[in-house]
Amino acid sequence: MPFLKDAVTLVKEPQQLPSIPLSWFPSSVFAAFNVTLLLFLSGLFFGFPCRWLVQNGEWAFPAITGPLFILTFFSLVSLNFSDPGILHRGSTKEDPMTVHVVRVNQRAFRLEWCPKCLFHRPPRTYHCPWCNICVEDFDHHCKWVNNCIGHRNFRLFMLLVLSLCLYSGALLVTCLTFLIRTRHLPFSLDKGMAILVAVPAAGFLIPLFLLLLIQALSVSRAESSYESKCRYHPEYNPFDQGFAKNWYLAMFAPLGPNYMSEVVCLQRPVGTAWIQEKTKPSPPRRPKHCRPGPPGPQHQPRRVPGKGPPGSGEAAALQEMRRLPASVEKSPGGPRQPTAEPAAGDP
């Protein structure tokens, strides 16, 4: 029999999930810089030109720009941390050669296989190369907030663009009003700060207005920015349901379930205490007028002599024993105990 020196067992290696790239740091720094820039310019505006206008009785300007700043800052920060509609990753056991076909308004869509997320993605779902995730109803990746724009945060994105347009216009108008009313005064720090705020406000206003117009046209045609860029619907768009219905579905319709939150809840570890609590039998119901007593050992009720249950013969035997004399006659063998005849109810 030959001696085997090297015996190697051939085992099929499991397919590993793709690693997440580490290119998120520069994008995160850029998004944080945008938030800081908004706070910096707003601080200069409210600290110099707006303060001068308030001191001279012009309360209308801060009454308009103040709520717009709060709305803009809230939408910007919320969009940074919002869920665009992420679809969780699939399993390595999925077969990429399986063909899935769905129909939308008499048009067939073959579900494409995502080699990074390992599942067949639904229609209008695309893989973002910057975030390395598949997003439902993917519109585009916004580098200003370092987040994808998709099904669940598109409304927040539209609110941000609209609030930025209004806020930039309000800053520009207020700074120009301040410069006009102080033209007879010598150059001061307030004028310098007003110019420093008005120049970026005017520079951002025109691109933001064009972006808002493009997004409004995309909503009207029920076509995302990614689809219009890639010519995804050359013949006709099966998702177009009319102007009013498209705006309702994009801005006011229910969003549906949050897939990531449901997956996170399902993946939470379940402890033994939680299992015992869920599997513990429920206590018997008590009447409403009864209140549960304090926890502790349950004592059996003390039986009072002469008050036994009817038919047991205990009460009749004790009454017969009380009729006998208290003294007991002594005998050579010891004291003689009184005897009682059994009652009718005893066995």
| Long-range residue pairs from 276-281, CB within 8 A, at least 24 positions apart, any chain | none
pLDDT in tens, 180-206: 999 999 999 999 999 999 999 999 999
What are the tokens at 110? 């073959």
pLDDT of residue 104: 86
What are the tokens at 275? 């299992």
pLDDT in tens, 72-82: 999 999 999 99
pLDDT of residue 340: 45
pLDDT of residue 236: 80
pLDDT of residue 9: 41
> Does position 13 have pLDDT exceeding 50, yes or no?
no
pLDDT in tens, 243-277: 999 999 999 999 988 876 655 554 444 444 443 44
Only one residue has tokens 């015992």, namely: 276
Look at residues 97, 142, 134 and name the one whose alpha carbon lies nearest to residue 18: 134
> Does position 224 have pLDDT exceeding 70, yes or no?
yes
Q: What is the DSSP string of 60-91?
A: HHHHHHHHHHHHHHHHHHHHHT----EEPP--
Is 131 a catalytic site residue? no
Query: Would you tell me how many other CB atoms lie within 10 Å of the CB of residue 191?
Result: 19
- Inter-residue contact 255 to 262 (CB < 8 Å): no
pLDDT of residue 275: 39
Buried b (16+ CB within 10 A) or exposed e, 74-110: ebbeebbebbbbbbebbeeeeeeeeeeeeeeeeeeee
Measure CA 47 to chain center: 37
pLDDT of residue 344: 45
pLDDT of residue 144: 94
> Does position 166 have pLDDT exceeding 90, yes or no?
yes
Task: Write the DSSP symbol of residue 194.
Answer: H
pLDDT of residue 114: 93
> Does position 15 have pLDDT exceeding 50, yes or no?
no
Identified catalytic residue from 50, 128, 142, 165: 142
> Does position 282 have pLDDT exceeding 70, yes or no?
no
pLDDT of residue 286: 55
- Greater model confidence, 107 or 112: 112
- Greater model confidence, 27 or 228: 27
- Identify the weakest region by mean pLDDT among 86-100, 151-165, 239-253, 323-337: 323-337
What's the mean pLDDT in 93-104?
86
pLDDT of residue 258: 81
Which sign, positive or negative, has the C-alpha torsion 218, 224, 228, 231?
negative
- With pLDDT > 70 as the criterion, what percentage of the chain qualifies? 67
- Inter-residue contact 260 to 83 (CB < 8 Å): yes
Instruction: Compute the 3-state secondary structure of the chain and give helix, strand, coil in percent, each to the nearest 5.
Output: 45, 10, 45
> Does position 135 have pLDDT exceeding 90, yes or no?
yes
Using a 10 angstrom Cβ sphere, with 0-12 exposed, 13-18 middle and 19 or more buried, the burial of residue 211 is middle
Cα separation, 58 vs 51, whole angstroms: 9
User: Average pLDDT over the chain, rounded to whole?
Assistant: 78
pLDDT of residue 333: 46
- Most confident by average pLDDT, 152-156, 256-260, 301-305, 325-329: 152-156
What's the mean pLDDT in 54-64?
94
- Greater model confidence, 285 or 190: 190
